[in-house]
Structure 1
Amino acid sequence: MSRKYIDCRDYPGSTCSVKISADTEAELLEATIEHAVKAHGHQDTPELRAQLAAMFKDDTGNADTRLAA
């Protein structure tokens, strides 16, 4: 499964360095909206959700390297 991510540095005019990733787009969207509202003062609107979701990228970095329990 490919993780998705969004990086605040990709948002026009942002000076924030936060990068958020998740296994699903739904989980990533909720975390991204929470960050946008709390850290940047945005309103949670359908337009903001669509704009942010359009900025999601596939994480093509290393495979999941978590240790097996």
Structure 2
Amino acid sequence: MSRKTMDCRKAPSDIHCTLTISGEEDEVFNAAVAHAVSAHGHEDSAELREMIRGLLEDEEPSAGIGRAMPMQEPQQPSRH
């Protein structure tokens, strides 16, 4: 399943919210609805849910995420 994002900067807002939510689609959708109601004072309605569903976007892959990091040998303290 692909990750989704919802960026409040792309939604109409009087408070100029900059919150971005990312995760699995259902998680982002539910969190975005709760945020719209609690932070923006919207009524939880079919229209709100439709607007939010339309604002969900595929998350852009970030450099380095999902790649294994090379292991480094522990450094021994120097004894000078």
**What is the aligned-residue identity percentage?**
40
- Whether the 8 Å contact between 1:37 and 1:44 is mirrored in structure 2 is yes
CA positional deviation for 1:9: 0.3
Q: How much has 1:5 moved relative to structure 2? A: 0.4
Runs of 4+ in 1 over 2 A off after TM superposition: none
Which runs of 5 or more structure 1 residues have no equivalent in the other structure? none
Give 1:13 shift: 3.8
- After superposition, the CA RMSD in angstroms is 1.9
Please list every run of 5 or more consecutive structure 2 residues that lacks an aligned counterpart in the other structure: 70-80
State how 1:15-34 maps to structure 2 within 5 Å.
15-23=16-24, 25-34=25-34
TM-score (norm 1): 0.80
CA distance in 1, matches of 2:12, 2:34: 18
Q: Return the index of the structure with the highest Cα Rg.
A: 2
Counterpart of 1:17, as a letter, is T
